[in-house]
Structure 1
Amino acid sequence: MLMFVQEWKTEPDITKAVDIYRHQLLKAAESEEDLTIKLNMGHSPEDRERAILQFYKAPNINWARNLTVVLQGDAALGDGVKRFFFSQTISKLQFGFELNIEGPGKTLFFLGEEDHQVPSTSKILLDSGLYVVAGRMIGHSILHGGPGLSSLSPSVFSSLIGQDEEHVCLQDCPDMDLREIIQELDGDDDLSQSQTSKMNDLCLSWDLPFVNTENRRWLAEKVLVHAVLGRRREQLRQLRRGLKDSGLMPLLKERPDALNIIFPQASKIFVTPEMILDRIVWPSDSDTESDDGLDISTKCSVTAYLREYIESGTSDELLELLKFWVGWAVLPQHLYVKVKKVSMPTAVTCFETLKIPGHYLSYREFKMDLAAAVSTTDSGFGLV
């Protein structure tokens, strides 16, 4: 076991190192009872979100245990359901829950620009321990090969692993009023009486010295660091605790570069048509069992429509297609295509298989149906 542990510590490829580490934890939990979560697909999105949050609030759980996801009201089973579950969970964490925890509108755990997001300063989320829940969600997804949480600011990474604070940048501050104050402090123009009064009120509330001509740039840096990290220390502490509960903290302490896997930059999550096309296993003329006896010309025509759809798709569109196809926006080794006598495109995510009908006579009709099928991913499992 010691040799195996050392392997993830010394493996130069961080993606491989993370895989070695998570497989170690999964193997150690093989003999334990499965974790099970049941989601009723007939319930409202808010009720399903409430069930997910309640699931991750459970204390003293070994999150490396095998997970069974039951979608009540949906016949789907297997690994594809787990992929759907993790994809939906991380998406909710990324873009907001429908639950009105703080009032009308979505409940956002993270705020800010792309690749500069930081935890919300919401007292309700903090007092409810929901950043511990968020850490468990992220760690649980990573342990089972799922997506990480993208778009987090690198300035919070060092805080998560207990190291000294890194330099923060202005884009890390989601509060535009505070940004304006910081820019004024860091500027060369003389401060007006009203500007000075506003800054001194802020400094007083944050236990910082009043502004003067000598300390204004030093103060700009202190205000920025406090605005981004100081006001969020408890949120980050809870997030760190949740990651620890999931079993990821030993990995992060030994391999801080793993943060780039767990919290990837959104700007670097890019899917190209070539990335998908290179992994597709297309139907062949000899594949009689899977194609319902459709002739080769029909298969060639319909698969050409799929190729055109992929080649003309944007990165965001291809990510959505991938989620429909396999259950999450993570490329598997192979993507399978079957041409079938069915009414609409369907996905068997457990087997990374996309089933497309053979009745299409035009690309326009094919594109409309596939886009409609892909759009069901967020509201249902996608297996229709």
Structure 2
Amino acid sequence: MASGSEDDTDIFNILEEIGMKEYKNVFKENMIRIQDVVELTEKDFEKHGVTAIGLQLRLKQACRNHLQAKSEDTSPVLKKFFDLKRERVRIQKTKKIKRHFKPTRRIYCGWKHAVRSDVFKVVTLSKGGGQQIIDVSKDTTYEVLEKQILDLYFPKARSMAQNLKLSDLNHYLASFSGDPLPRSFQNNHEFTVGNYFDHIKTYPVRVYLHTTKKDEDDDNYLPDISKSSPGPSKDMESQSLSLSSELEDPQLLPGTSRMFDAVCTDEGSDAEFENAGTPVIFFKKSTQTRLTSTPKPEKNGNKPFLSEDLDGDMQMQEAICASLEMMQQPQHFIDLDLRKWTMNTLKSEEEENVKQLIVVHRRHVLNSALRALDRASFKLEEPFKVEFPGELGADYGGPKREFLSCLMKELANAVLEGEPYNKTFIHSVPLLDKEMFFKAGRMIVWSILHGGPGFPFLNSTLYQLLIEPKDVVYSTDDVIDLDVKNKIQKLQTADEEELNLLSDWMVEQGVYGVVPPYTEQKRDCMARQLLKSHVYLRIHAEIAQFRKGLNTLEFYTIMKSNSEEVMGLFLHMLSNSMVTMQKIKEIIHINYSEDGSNDKRKEEDTMYAFELFLQDCSEDTSEINLNMLLAFWTGAETIPPLGFHKKLEIKFVEDPALLPVAHTCDLLPEISRGETPEEFHRKMELAITCGGEFHLA
């Protein structure tokens, strides 16, 4: 009897140790002992309510261990071993629980816009969309999450890339498959990010901002993507046409047809069709030429992981895969008009026949460029070579790329002020007298024409002022001077006495004739006038001079007619200056040895180390960032607007003692075979940081 009681106690202890204490009553009622558990079948377990295979196996193994330890009572060492093992499992389980507790959740965001009543298309990075990643608190509500995502794509309630105001759009958040996010769940819990993660039980979680153009009488909009309106207004049609034409050439969904330039009709049909009131959308033929291509999915059926059950709907499955492939396309492409301009403007010349030489002082790159531009024999459209005095090596592309990259950075420091990549012009009469802003425009055209970088340092408002000043909406965020910004913000809340004290300053800024009482309308008017005065009128002469310089070789004409495509040359968030691990991998070609050879196996080891190094550079866990790596490899810190003239190559060498060597003209580094990740990382850091100004080539 005592033995039976002891067995019961043992089985209860085991159940508690492995986290199955809720089954104690079941085992007690059925008088199941430890030795019985070892013999139970899957059906026996299910009969007693233990349906999970994992729990069945865990309990069986725990009982076996207990019986084995009990049979070896004469060995205190073995008994101690099992005791320590149980304690270690308990500690590891506790650590695992603590390790996985996070107060935030990661969400992958995107933006889709309606191009027809029931068709939404992903807006790409170059058009102001693209994938964004945010970490939000588990307690975040629907409204707060929506605001955070709206701020990503509509800062200041406006999409600069698409010239869309948020007030003109209906919007809602939807899941990966397009279903609107629920506001509450079956257990009557309100929407929070934590509850949503618990509800869908998948990872990664993707949330898309869905937008549609408002109808004039659209007051009761519901986020139902299957709903179509009877007939949109002309404004809606024109806006939808504009946006759809700017999106990437779509990969069509199953069951749809491609429409280009004209409406398709059934050939051979004599029937006449009445206007059904539905919008007709004309898709403009894509004028974009990709510099690189993404390999097609392999025929073995490897497709992106789909985290939501599609209930066997193959068309929906294919549509989602197509959408994912569109998102994964490389982003560095350029408008065909700009490519044509480059081909028609740049004079072709064999490398050995290039006569125009630019002598560059490394510590005075901008002055070297200004001297070159002032020479009577200098021609902007002719090919040129760069020479750094005292350095060996001919220029077959690498030195020129390095020179143009350094030139754009020095030029930005000379004529711009403000935060990095969010700058505006310095107001400087001496620089105006020297026509420095005109020369800056010319040098930017020169860089773009010859395969150098753009000028991705401007803020979006300044870019708009260059294109069309009358459409600009000013904000205090555009004001560089903190004192001026504070005074403008103070206008909204200051009392009459404080406003009287500001009146002299406002007159100095060009704001006249505002007298008490200071109504809200007057305050708004004063704020708008002061913003326009400081953001635009103060640097009007600089903008005009810069615009004139940009029109060298008629570049500004191309820029104005393709303002959204060219925007990436001047705005950092849309430019190729944002180098990513994926972008670099897309433009690399690896010169592997023959399959099955020992060299091939060693080269694969090195490429594994290289991938880890890329990851470290992209995650800021290394002293080297991706821009520094690209400069070491090519001489340019960014991918040029028109791309490199060929893919970046990797060549393997045998000597493990050598540091990596980069031949920037050939876009070719030499790295050793068979490197370990640690050794490769050390050598790359040493080569890039200590290899000299011109990166060992």
Same fold (TM over 0.5): yes
**What's 2:631 paired with?**
323
- Among all aligned residue pairs of Structure 1 and Structure 2, give the percentage whose two residues are the same amino acid: 23
Aligned: 1:20 with 2:326: no
CA distance in 2, matches of 1:33, 1:273: 35
**What's 2:647 paired with?**
334
**What's 1:299 paired with?**
603
**What's 1:276 paired with?**
584
Instruction: For CA contacts below 8 A with separation 6 or more, give which structure has more relative contact order.
Output: 1
Query: CA 1:370–1:295 in 2, change beyond 3 Å: closer, same or farther?
Result: same
CA distance in 2, matches of 1:118, 1:364: 43
Aligned: 1:220 with 2:527: yes
Query: CA 1:122–1:263 in 2, change beyond 3 Å: closer, same or farther?
Result: same
Aligned: 1:74 with 2:74: no
CA distance in 2, matches of 1:70, 1:182: 50
CA distance in 2, matches of 1:267, 1:114: 15
Aligned: 1:372 with 2:686: yes
Deviations 1:207-237 (A, max 9, x none): 2115541322111011111111111111112
Task: Tell whether the 8 Å contact from 1:158 to 1:164 is kept in structure 2 after alignment.
Answer: no
**What's 2:659 paired with?**
344
CA distance in 2, matches of 1:225, 1:59: 40
Query: CA 1:61–1:52 in 2, change beyond 3 Å: closer, same or farther?
Result: closer
Aligned: 1:65 with 2:382: yes
Give the aligned residue type for 1:337: I
Task: Please state how far the C-alpha of 1:11 moved relative to its aligned partner.
Answer: 6.4
Give the aligned residue type for 1:243: L
**What's 1:200 paired with?**
503
- Normalized per residue, the structure richer in helix is 1
Query: CA 1:130–1:373 in 2, change beyond 3 Å: closer, same or farther?
Result: farther
Query: CA 1:262–1:278 in 2, change beyond 3 Å: closer, same or farther?
Result: closer
Deviations 1:49-86 (A, max 9, x none): 42123224457954121121112222232111211111
Aligned: 1:252 with 2:559: yes
Query: CA 1:343–1:320 in 2, change beyond 3 Å: closer, same or farther?
Result: same
Query: CA 1:19–1:358 in 2, change beyond 3 Å: closer, same or farther?
Result: same
Aligned: 1:126 with 2:441: no
CA distance in 2, matches of 1:346, 1:267: 31
CA distance in 1, matches of 2:560, 2:599: 57
Query: CA 1:294–1:75 in 2, change beyond 3 Å: closer, same or farther?
Result: farther
Task: Tell whether the 8 Å contact from 1:26 to 1:143 is kept in structure 2 after alignment.
Answer: yes
CA distance in 1, matches of 2:349, 2:634: 25
Aligned: 1:230 with 2:230: no
CA distance in 2, matches of 1:294, 1:50: 52
CA distance in 2, matches of 1:87, 1:139: 13
Give the aligned residue type for 1:303: M
Task: Please state how far the C-alpha of 1:26 moved relative to its aligned partner.
Answer: 0.9
Task: Please state how far the C-alpha of 1:246 moved relative to its aligned partner.
Answer: 4.8
**What's 2:484 paired with?**
178
Query: CA 1:334–1:49 in 2, change beyond 3 Å: closer, same or farther?
Result: same
Task: Please state how far the C-alpha of 1:337 moved relative to its aligned partner.
Answer: 0.8
Secondary structure, counterpart of 2:609 in structure 1: helix
Aligned: 1:363 with 2:677: yes
Give the aligned residue type for 2:494: D
* Greater mean deviation of Cα atoms: 108-117 or 146-155: 108-117
**What's 2:359 paired with?**
38
RMSD: 3.2
CA distance in 2, matches of 1:302, 1:271: 22
**What's 1:139 paired with?**
445
Secondary structure, counterpart of 2:452 in structure 1: coil
CA distance in 2, matches of 1:380, 1:15: 34
Task: Please state how far the C-alpha of 1:297 moved relative to its aligned partner.
Answer: 4.3
Secondary structure, counterpart of 1:148 in structure 2: coil
Give the aligned residue type for 1:138: I
**What's 2:318 paired with?**
none
Task: Please state how far the C-alpha of 1:27 moved relative to its aligned partner.
Answer: 4.0
**What's 1:312 paired with?**
616
Secondary structure, counterpart of 1:336 in structure 2: strand
Deviations 1:268-287 (A, max 9, x none): 54333222223322232249
Task: Tell whether the 8 Å contact from 2:361 to 2:368 is kept in structure 1 after alignment.
Answer: no
Task: Please state how far the C-alpha of 1:334 moved relative to its aligned partner.
Answer: 1.6
Task: Please state how far the C-alpha of 1:145 moved relative to its aligned partner.
Answer: 2.5
Secondary structure, counterpart of 1:323 in structure 2: helix
Give the aligned residue type for 2:651: K
Larger radius of gyration: 2
Task: Please state how far the C-alpha of 1:124 moved relative to its aligned partner.
Answer: 3.3
Secondary structure, counterpart of 1:168 in structure 2: coil
CA distance in 1, matches of 2:619, 2:406: 19
* Greater mean deviation of Cα atoms: 19-28 or 84-93: 19-28
Q: Which runs of 5+ in 1 are unaligned?
A: 1-9, 97-107, 288-292
**What's 1:191 paired with?**
495
Secondary structure, counterpart of 1:355 in structure 2: strand
**What's 1:168 paired with?**
474
Task: Please state how far the C-alpha of 1:311 moved relative to its aligned partner.
Answer: 2.5
* Greater mean deviation of Cα atoms: 331-340 or 17-26: 331-340
Task: Please state how far the C-alpha of 1:113 moved relative to its aligned partner.
Answer: 3.4
Task: Tell whether the 8 Å contact from 2:365 to 2:407 is kept in structure 1 after alignment.
Answer: no
CA distance in 2, matches of 1:59, 1:221: 46
Deviations 1:107-150 (A, max 9, x none): x4212235532111233333322212211121111112221111
Task: Tell whether the 8 Å contact from 1:114 to 1:266 is kept in structure 2 after alignment.
Answer: no
CA distance in 2, matches of 1:184, 1:58: 51
Query: CA 1:354–1:234 in 2, change beyond 3 Å: closer, same or farther?
Result: same
CA distance in 2, matches of 1:233, 1:37: 33
Task: Tell whether the 8 Å contact from 1:38 to 1:72 is kept in structure 2 after alignment.
Answer: yes
Task: Tell whether the 8 Å contact from 1:115 to 1:267 is kept in structure 2 after alignment.
Answer: no
Give the aligned residue type for 1:15: D
CA distance in 2, matches of 1:374, 1:257: 36
Secondary structure, counterpart of 1:147 in structure 2: coil
Q: Count the aligned residue pairs.
A: 349
Report the TM-score when normalising by structure 2: 0.46
CA distance in 2, matches of 1:244, 1:131: 12
